[in-house]
Structure 1
Amino acid sequence: MVGKSVSIVVIPFTVTSRNKLGHDPENRSGDKDLELPLFGLSTLLTATNNFSFNNKLGEGGYGPVYKGLLEDGQEIAVKRLAKTSTQGLHEFKNEVILISKLQHRNLVKLLGCCLEGAEKMLIYEYMPNKGLDSFIFDKTQSELLDWPTRYHIIIGIARGLLYLHQDSRLRIIHRDLKVSNILLDADMNPKISDFGLARIFGGNQIEANTNRVVGTYGYMAPEYAGDGNFSIKSDVYSFGVILLEIVYGVKNRGFINNDHCNNLVGHAWRLHIEERPLQSVTKCLGESINVSQVLRSIHVGLLCVQHHPEDRPTTTSAIQMLESEGPLPSPKEPGFYFGKTKQDTPVSCSYETSSNNEISISLLAGR
């Protein structure tokens, strides 16, 4: 029992039409009877101090997230569906169905939900170190992440992704894997979060197509952003971007270089083919750096972001390559690589402009 005002209920999700809890016909999963702890609204109002601004942890397309403290002293994170959210009902249902069936040390744990009046909320374990983005993209906080910690985070993300793709009883494609969706617990263990856009693959299915392209610029694989095709290899592409961001300490989208107009992926590729991959590695690694591991991580990252999905490794292969010392295959040109200097193509620079905020997209018609 996680709190005094918590009861166990069976939540029926009968998936029949869009108007029943925002069903997306692309993600049919049959009738779902989910047994989850149901938190009372009064319990959550007390825990979050009436959803006060001081308790707010952040906000996404789904709605705001608040820190809460239950009467028994347990800290929680409350994800509250915004009344103005256009996708929230579908994402709420999708996240409950998926995350309630998944258990792994590198996935955030769902504790329960609240369905009272107009309120729809998900209650998660609280992650005291918040998102990975709050560390690697912050000049002060990034100094707290030495190389052993970064490598530990990389391997943890990969193992969580492997569980989603292969080891769980469902095959899950996350579709919005990014650093802000990687949460860190008190021991800096990474946990993949936010399954509102995830998709279930059944049987031997390995890929699918959608007319509703959703995700975040900078992390989306080219075949998904352009044509709506997604698979485990599109998640692998996103993982490759995250891996490079962890090593270099900068965002892929909004990356700025005086010599060219490429994003971080393109920059890492240029450094690779010029045989100087360590040149832009984040300086805060200092003496903690393990050159062999860093070089291997960059190389695997470039293998993951190759333009064609069939060239990218599986998550299993990526982990094996990261943890081994054997030879690695040569990466091919990555997706979204321009290969031009600023002097050659001034217009192309507008694609990856500097931005303080990530931009999530939902295109109603993929090309």
Structure 2
Amino acid sequence: MPTIRPEDFGAVPGKDATEAFRKMFAAVDKRLRADAGGGVPVATTEILLSGSYSVSDSIMRPVRGRAQGLTIRGHGKRASEIVMTGAAPLLVNQDRWMGVRWYDCSFRSTNPEASYLYSSSTGACQDWGWTNCEWRGRWQYGIGLDGPENSNTNSEMRFTGCHVNGGYDKAFLWSGMTPVHAQQDQFLNHWFSDCKVEYDYGDFVRFDKGGFIRVDGGSFIIKGQRPDGGVSRFFHFPTAGHYDSVQHLSVRAVRFELRNAKSQVIQSKWAGHIVFDSCSDTALGFQAHSPGLIAHAYTNPGVVVYRHCDLVGKHAYHLTSSNRRRRIVYDACTRKNNRTAASFLVVDGGQAGATPPITHINDADGIT
């Protein structure tokens, strides 16, 4: 497959390359060919990023029609970098690109109003993947998923071996940007594998609608505090009332660090399934803020399971409505600070005394 570079369209080191990138993406659009197996045309060129580029506005802009199969490659983290100085989203995918892959690139914002990707879909905007990529600098949000009432997809996004750095006023991945649209519950299937999520502040994943999320392995650290004094969270699901099949979070073999009292692993109002398996968030358990830290907080959960986890601080359950399918289970877990049920669990609300109870199985601290 032929390769094109921003330099082919006028990019010069030390100068703004916005127009060069726009011309390059326009060239990609002009060189599409028909897909032998369907109706969505495919890219015939691959983009190579071989240095550091500064841009001041969106470089991927809305184009009519759908397309698929675009690959962008760099030479390695920070060896190939796009620096965003403007306040717009770096990339705008307006119901167009599917099957996009980014490899070995970095993205950095010097403008706190900037965003990395705004993706609005009514059926396209799916199957994007990032491998060995990095984000740093201060952003309004990293990836924002949006769309009108008849929207769908914005799904199948995969992150492998990536580094999420920097700070986020909203979140690195923000789904359901317009939650009045019920169909945004269908933005689902987002996968993170062996990622280094070590950022300054904000939410890592925020879903104002439903979703289906899997996290497997990695180092997760919230290093600082939000400038507005608010709480930063790795997983934030702030609204209730979604379809049953899109309230799922699975987290396996992740090491978390909560370095201050304004950080949490999760705050959730989902009523689906949330599972933490073989995780630890106790690395900073020796610090003064840890014993009183509400590290995990739920409002009216459905099924919550911790399996073979080592846990810091306290877990809170705010139970104001009944749910006959509610199950909260701790299986073969240990705790750094609060090693009795009375000190570890904060349970309140009108349904706090309702069955089924919170269950402890094979508990290493002897909680029954």
TM over 0.5: no
What is the TM-score normalised by the length of structure 2?
0.31
User: Larger strand proportion, structure 1 or 2?
Assistant: 2
Larger Rg over CA atoms: 2
User: Larger helix proportion, structure 1 or 2?
Assistant: 1
